[in-house]
Structure formats: C-alpha cells, structure tokens
Chain A
Amino acid sequence: MAVKVRIPTPLMKLTSNQSEVTAEGATISDIFDNLESQFAGIKERICEENGSPRRFINIYVNEEDIRFLDGEKTAVKEGDEISIIPAIAGGFR
C-alpha cells in the first residue's frame, strides 16, 4: 500500500531535501517503520520510544488528525496523503 508522506522542513535534511516521499504500510505505525528503513534516523525524530508521535508533532491522514481516528493504529490505503506537522500553532511545512 503506497501512500504519500509530506515531510516538514526540519526533517527534510533526512530525506535528501524531498518535501514529499512515498512510503508503504497498512497503518500509520507501519508507515513510520517504512520511513525509517528508507531514511535512517527519521523515526526517532517523529516518535517517542514507545512508537507514538512526539508531543509536539501532529499526524494527519487526508487532512484529519489521527487523534480523531485510531492514533498510530489508523489504517491507511493506497493513495492516502499523510502530513507530519509540528504542533505549535499548526506548525509549518
């Protein structure tokens, strides 16, 4: 299942300056793991040790905050768009 992931500016150093990347997986957790396999070091920037997103990061699937869905267990499907956005004041890209 391939999804598009939008990367916030501070993490673009890890994605060779790409603001949008493709990742595979059935849930948000899978996507985090898949991102880590492509861009080593990115997962610890996004997640706490227990795998949930850091306090100051919000994750959106197709514009909806995953905290209104199933958190990191939220299922994703082909073509979904995932945004990683710093929490402060909506964050920046």
Chain B
Amino acid sequence: MGYVKGLRCKECKREFPKEPIHVCEFCFGPLEVDYDYENIKKAVSRKSIESRSPSMWRYREFLPIDEDPKVGLHTGFTPLVRAKNLGKALGLNNLYVKNDSVNHPTFSFKDRVVSVAVSKAIEFGFDTLSCASTGNLANSVAAHAAEAGLKSCIFIPDGLEAGKILGTLIYGTQLIAVKGSYDDVNRLCSEVAADHKWAFVNINIRPYYGDGSKSYGYEIAEQLGWKAPDNVVVPVAGSSLITKIWKAFHEFEAMDLIGPFKTKIFAAQATGCSPVTTAIKNGTDVITPVKPNTIAKSIAIGNPADGYYGVKTANESGGYGEDVSDEEIVQAMQLMAETEGIFTETAGGVTLAVTKKLIAQKRIKPDELTVICVTGNGLKTQEALDGAFEPPVVIEPHLHSFEEIFANNLTVE
C-alpha cells in the first residue's frame, strides 16, 4: 500500500531494492528513497491532508513506509508560532517560529525521523534498535523502542548534558558513552553495525529515517496556508534536515499542493563546529572536517554526513550560512524565551543568533516571511545556562517578608 518504488543513489542514480542499506556500492554515494510520485499525485490533495489528524502522518503518502505506522502516531504537527514580539525585537514584520521543542514524545524534531525509522525497522523484522547520537536522537530512539517493545542499545559521546542522559535512561535502554566526539561514536557504530544485525536508525535505516524530516517542511508549508516562506533558517549538524526541508517544498510544488516558490534556505552553525557554514562562506563544496568545541552539543558534528548537500541546498536556494559564538547562543536562547515564551535548546539559540546576523547583513529583509527552526527543548540543555541567572529570592511565608523585599528594590517586569 506504500508509494516507495525502491532506493536510488543520489549521485550515480543506480537503483537498489527496499532493504536496510544506505550506501551505493558502486560510488559510495548516499541512497535515497524513490517514490511513485505519479500515484501520490492521484492520492493526495490539500483536502485529504487537512481531513486527517494533526500529526506528521497526515503526509503519509510522502513517508517511506509500506504498512501502517507502528509507533509515534502523535508525532509532529507542532505549532508554527507567529512571533510578533521576537519579530519586533529583530525588526522583522513577518516572523514565525516552527516549534519542535514540544514535539511528541521526546521534545525534539528527532521524533519525526525515529517514528519513521522504527516503523520501517519493524517492517524489516529487526528486534533491536540502535543509533549514534548527540542526545536528542538517543532520547527518541529509547522512547520509541519502549513503545514498540523492541530492545535498544544507544551510543553517545561521553560528557553530554545530564538531561539528555537521564532522558534516555528513563526508557529502559542500554546506554553506552564513548570517549570521544560524536564523529568517533558514529564511526564506531558503523563498525558495530557490520557485526550486529541491529537497526541503526541513522546508519542502515538512514534513507528512510531521513525522510521523516520532510514532515517538518510539509508542516511549515501547510501551516502558512499552503505556501513556502521567503526564508528558512535551519540549525545544521549532519545537514540532513536542511536538505529535507528543501526537498519537502519541491515535492509539494510538484504535487501542486503549493505554487512556485523562491525560498532561501540559510544554514546556522556554532562557530565551534562550523564545517558547513565555513564551506558556504568560502564558496567551496568541499567540507573540511573539524573537531567540535561548542555548547551547542546537539549539532556538534565535525564530519557531517550530508555536509556536501547542505552546502548545495543553501547555495541553490540563494541562501547563505553563518555561525555564532557560544555567548551569542546563550543570549539568543534568553531572547527567544523572554519574547515568545519558548525555551529552546542551544541549537535554537544558534538559529536565532544566526538570524540576527543575517538581518544585519541584509540577507533577510524586514517584510519577508521568515521561519526560524527550533528543533529541541531548552530543559534538556540546562548546563548551557549555568551561572546565567541569580538564584531566586528566598522569603518567609509571611506578607511582611514579601513587603520587605518588595520595598527593597524588587523588580517586577
């Protein structure tokens, strides 16, 4: 009942069957899902999509599973917030925040990719899930393994934020911290994957997994009233999300769900880990890997798997890439919380701080419709704000105790 014809190499276009594989065995290019767009076009309309429940599965024809989804039925369709206060602070008249910090069930956009990957892993008959993760993916894989009743073994770099570790362990998984960076973990996992018949969601299930991210783009377009925005600012780690948002708009255009669009896609990274934005700024498509050093750990990937395509997406769309310091990231996290009541994790601070830079550079203009991507929740990365605030004032439970400090220069804003 699905619309997946098979897999195809993104580079040499060789075709492969629907299997848990992710690399072209001829040119080593990445494999991607090949859809039957002719029949999708017959099956979907704005009306059919709008009639479905508010989750990412309202776009199910565009997602690479053959059977009904097995897990994550409530994932997606997160708020697209009209950010008037933040817009005012930035000098933008038409600003939105796509807020995946409240995604179900683990508060990041990774629930989208994992819902698809786990549903697909079950179709393939795997009994164990695994992944290499900077934290958000770990949370999501552990949660969905619990929901599916499957075993899981999850690999993270040593030294992640406490919230990301606890937020994985709670689901009853086997968690392994590896001495090294995410890139070391990822490489180790690719070798483990060769010897253990597990579903590594971001390795052997990667072609399917990645397409879960497209739903983030579909939702932006539908929630804007079936159109693509002028600008999207995307946090970049491995560069998968940025390419899938771009792909989502193109698919919707090809299916006549939206009209022609000229969206510029901007890549946002932390200066302490900016291989993609550095390549964009240097006008090259060759990614030079780096050793990450930033508080934005969720996007600290020094050797990005899809980096080449991330650069291509920014360039082809007429966008750009910028990076920001850890200090700018924290300031931006506070700005978003104070203006919109949205507590984003560090990666969202990166996106907002980069947006500020792009406005200053006049690459984003005041009246353009701009969407800032928030992909994770600030409660998971509290260490980034260590020392940023004074502890609360402590008083006795008596009115006079309050009046005393109130008279003594307490500010209430």
Q: List residues of chain A with CB under 8 Å of any chain B CB.
A: 9-10, 45, 54-58, 60, 63, 65, 67-68, 85-93
Contacts of B291 in A (CB 8 A): 68
Q: Is the CB of A90 within 8 A of B189?
A: yes
| A68 CB, nearest partner CB in chain B, Å | 7
Q: How many A-B residue pairs have CB under 8 A?
A: 77
Interchain Cβ contacts under 8 Å between A and B, 26 examples: A9-B194, A54-B27, A55-B286, A56-B23, A56-B29, A56-B30, A58-B303, A85-B190, A86-B23, A88-B29, A88-B305, A89-B132, A89-B186, A89-B202, A89-B203, A89-B206, A89-B238, A90-B186, A90-B187, A90-B190, A91-B190, A92-B22, A92-B190, A92-B193, A92-B204, A93-B193
Q: State which of B23, B203, B286 has its C-beta within 8 Å of the C-beta of A10.
A: B23
Name the residue on A nearest B291 (C-beta): A68
Is A55 in contact with B206, judged by CB distance below 8 angstroms? no
Q: Which residues of B contact A60 (CB under 8 A)?
A: 187
What separation, in Å, do the CA atoms of A55 and B204 have in the docked complex? 20
Closest to B288 in A: A67
Q: Give CA–CA (A91, B289) in the complex, Å.
A: 15
Once the chains bind, are B28 and A90 in contact (CB under 8 Å)? no
Pair B28/A86 contact, Cβ less than 8 Å:
yes
A66 and B30 alpha carbons, distance in the complex (Å): 21
Residues of A within 8 A of B19 (CB): none
B191 contacts partner chain A, Cβ-Cβ < 8 Å: yes
B26 interfacial contact with A, CB 8 Å = yes
Rounded to whole angstroms, the CA-CA distance of A22 and B288 in the bound complex is 29
Q: How far is the CB of B412 from chain A (nearest CB, A)?
A: 50
* B109 CB to nearest chain A CB (Å): 17
In this complex, how many residues of chain B approach chain A with their Cβ under 8 Å: the count is 32
Whether the Cβ atoms of A88 and B28 lie closer than 8 Å is: yes
Are A92 and B28 touching (Cβ within 8 A)?
no
Closest to B131 in A: A89
A90 and B305 contact, CB distance less than 8 A:
yes
With A56-B11, A58-B303, A67-B289 as given contacts, are A93 and B28 in contact (CB-CB < 8 Å)? no
B28-45 vs A, Cβ < 8 Å mask (1 yes, 0 no): 111000000000000000
A48, chain B: closest CB distance, angstroms: 11
Residues of B within 8 A of A68 (CB): 289, 291
